[in-house]
Chains A and B, each alone.
Chain A
Amino acid sequence: MSDWRYHFSHNLGTLTAVGLFVLMFGIYIGNHEAGLNPAVATTAANKAVLLALVAMAQTLPVLTRGLDLSVGMIFVMANCLASAIVVGTIGQGLAGCIAVLFMGLAAGFINGAIVVYGRLQPIITTLATGAIYYGIALWIRPSPGGDVQYDIADFVTGQLFGTVPTSLVVLLVVVLVIWIPYRSSVLGRGAYAVGSNEQAAYMSGVPVDRAKIAAYALGGLIAALGGLILTFNTYSGEASAAIGGTYTLNSIAAVVIGGTSLFGGWGSAIGSIFGAFVLRTIEDLLFVFDLPPLWQPLFQGVVLLVAISLGAIRVFRIRNRLELFT
């Protein structure tokens, strides 16, 4: 296979998600009365970036053949913490932001440490730690409220040079500063190796334990960044189990739509970003097409189920039935 064809088939999942998003967003803009202007783009971006970050956070453990059911709760916990400590002057606010990110990193690290050293299954581990993080969020903010540093919030949710939504730039920075270096680092390549075959990775001298812990910890960090940006959007914090649950579940859906295999070792966080964009655009499409509100949840559910079922295409390409049982 020639070089570009290899790259094409390797990134097919991501490209499909990108194509799906461009198509849907095109239909959305075509039917939007205001068309594409910075205000419309910023509103869409501010909502989409939240799920995109949580989906990126979910991708890292999934690549190691794990799962993080606590990403939504880390997101909510960061939201509550940010609404309490990202206040005061700009300097104090920035210090608060760093503290929030650090807490996300710590939460992710705890997940990873329990999975690696406790040798518990990721699903059940993160289910339990998710309850703990939700408890902490409730403890910080028993009832919705709080405040946030307005200058930073307005900067992040506004536009750069009056045209580009700043939140998209933040997302791009995360990709360039965290994902791309991570992807080519020893730990990142180790994560893919562990996801493909943990025994073989161990035998080949891949730092299995460190790769797994790093995946969970970085996931926690990125989820916390999402929670921080949520606070900038809403100017408040809310410890809501519903929000956490919805983001966790949608993050898994976004990861799958973005072409990452839930069996590990295959996929990319960039695909997940576009998977998240696709999910968000579905909601916007319902809005511009003026679907009766009662039908919206059903329509959303059916679209989600159909998008997921696209993964069944591999069944038709299989040469030997035994390959089905992976």
Chain B
Amino acid sequence: MMAKGMTQRIGLDMPVMIAFGCIILLLLAGSLYSREFLSPDYLLQQLQVGAFLGIIASGAMMVILLGHIDLSIPWTVTLGAMMATALGGWIGEPGVWLAIPFGISCGALIGVLNGLGVAYLRLPSMIFTLGMNAVVQGLMVLHTGGFAPQDHATDAMHFLAVKRTIFGIPNALFVWALVGIIVILILRRTAFGRAVYAIGNRESVAYLSGINTNGVLIGCFAFCGACAAFAGVLLAGYSTKAYQAMGDAYLLPAIAAVVLGGTNILGGRGNYLGTIAGVILITLLQSILSVMQMPEAGRQVIYGAVIISMLLLYGRGARTRS
């Protein structure tokens, strides 16, 4: 009884355990191929790369818990990177200090707009965020096209994304940990967090219970936009500059990571521990496939097949007749 209560409290339920089990299996399978896979250096390297995905997935998870989805993530990532790097060119010296907060606020603004569309216009999030993605893309093309804006990352971004200050642990990992703690605190310790689950289960009931459902929707979308933009800022630091379409590779892995971590794509159920597992799983899978020099074609097929088969293990819905 005691043990069960404990595992439940930290969110270690069936899907999460299977996900962690798969991570261990992946590592063992990888170590048969090369001993490198179990070395701390390789693992830390993976966690550093995974941190960017982890930050994006944290935001995506908040929106998915509501039963919505944010398809504007790709260009919000790019927006965050481009705005943060360009600020120095616009306002000079203070821009270096304001770069990161400015990038994040731009992402949050896009998120607020998404939230307004979903909450007040009552449009399906899938289609509204899709349109927003196209608008942001247009803005960024306009931003980079006519003149050459500053696109080099500041030292602070480089520091957060690449450097290792304490015990050789990548700083990016601390940043992810910080974002993760914020999400966990919001979801478990605040009324806002309970409202997120309530809306994900049944929005009309949450509304009738006196929850400001529109406010919660806007808040979650704003958080998701901010996370995506923040990851964009870090990615700019990682690759030293911002460039077009840099976020395109992150939408599907982020959603896959959240869902593989046991969060219900229809909302209302899921915990952050699962998302951590999902992110590590996706990152490891991508890394192992590329280390094994699998051609891109095979990588895509295995990637898709693994997601389907894992979900068949624990992500199945209820029967219609029940």
Could you tell me the distance in whole angstroms from the C-beta of A68 to the nearest C-beta in chain B? 13
Which residues of chain A are within 8 angstroms of B308 by Cβ–Cβ distance? 114, 118, 120, 125, 128-129
Residues of A within 8 Å of B, CB-based: how many? 54
Is A177's CB within 8 Å of the partner chain B?
A: no
Q: Which of B24-32, B132-140, B169-177, B188-196 faces chain A? A: B132-140
Proximity string of chain B (28-58) to chain A, C-beta cutoff 8 Å, 1 when within and 0 when not: 0000000000000000000000000000000
CB contacts (< 8 Å) of B69 on chain A: these are 123
Cβ-defined contact, B204 with A322, below 8 A: yes
Say yes or no: A294 contacts B122, CB within 8 Å. no
B10 CB contacts on chain A under 8 angstroms: none
- CB contact list, A289-317 vs B, under 8 A: 294-302, 304-305, 308-309, 311-312, 314-315
Cβ 8 A contact of A120, one of B146, B299, B315: B315
Chain A binding surface, main DSSP class? helix
Contacts of B120 in A (CB 8 A): 315
Per-position 1/0 for A7-49, Cβ under 8 A of B: 0000000000000000000000000000000000000000000
The residues in A between 107 and 163 inclusive whose CB is less than 8 angstroms from any CB of B are 114, 118-121, 123-125, 127-132, 134-139, 142
The answer on a CB contact under 8 Å between A124 and B256 is yes
A251-273 vs B, CB cutoff 8 Å, 1 = contact: the mask equals: 01100100000110000000000
Tell me whether B316 and A132 are in contact (CB under 8 A): no
Question: Which A residues are in CB contact (< 8 Å) with B255?
Answer: 124, 127
Indicate which residue in B127, B266, B312, B320 contacts A262 across the interface (CB closer than 8 Å): B127
Q: Are B134 and A119 in contact (CB under 8 A)?
A: no
| Closest beta carbon of chain B to A324's beta carbon, Å | 5
The interface residues of chain B lying within 8 Å CB-to-CB of A127 are: 252, 255-256, 307
What does the 1/0 interface line of B285-322 toward A look like (CB < 8 Å)? Answer: 00000000001111111111101100110011111110
In the complex, A287 has a CB within 8 A of chain B = no
Q: Are A208 and B256 touching (Cβ within 8 A)?
A: no
Distance (whole angstroms) from the CB of A28 to the closest CB of chain B: 21
Is B130 in contact with A253, judged by CB distance below 8 angstroms?
yes
User: What CA separation (Å) do A304 and B315 show in the bound complex?
Assistant: 34
A288 CB, nearest partner CB in chain B, Å: 19
**Chain A residues within an 8 Å CB radius of B70:** none
How far in angstroms is the closest Cβ of chain A from B308? 5
Chain A 68-107 interface mask (CB, 8 Å, partner B; 1/0): 0000000000000000000000000000000000000000
Residues of A within 8 A of B204 (CB): 322, 325
A284 at interface, CB cutoff 8 A: no
Q: Which chain A residues border B90 with CB–CB below 8 Å?
A: none
Enumerate chain B residues within 8 angstroms of A294, measured Cβ to Cβ.
141-142, 145-146
Closest to B321 in A: A202
A308 touching B128 in the complex, CB below 8 Å, given contacts A123-B69, A135-B300, A300-B134: yes
Q: 30 A-B pairs, CB-CB below 8 angstroms?
A: A118-B311, A120-B308, A120-B311, A120-B315, A120-B317, A121-B259, A130-B304, A131-B252, A132-B304, A135-B297, A135-B300, A135-B301, A137-B297, A202-B320, A208-B320, A245-B248, A252-B127, A262-B127, A295-B138, A297-B137, A299-B138, A300-B134, A304-B131, A304-B134, A311-B121, A311-B127, A312-B121, A322-B207, A322-B208, A325-B203
Q: A253-B127, A312-B122 provided; 5 other pairs, C-beta below 8 A?
A: A119-B316, A120-B311, A121-B259, A131-B304, A322-B207
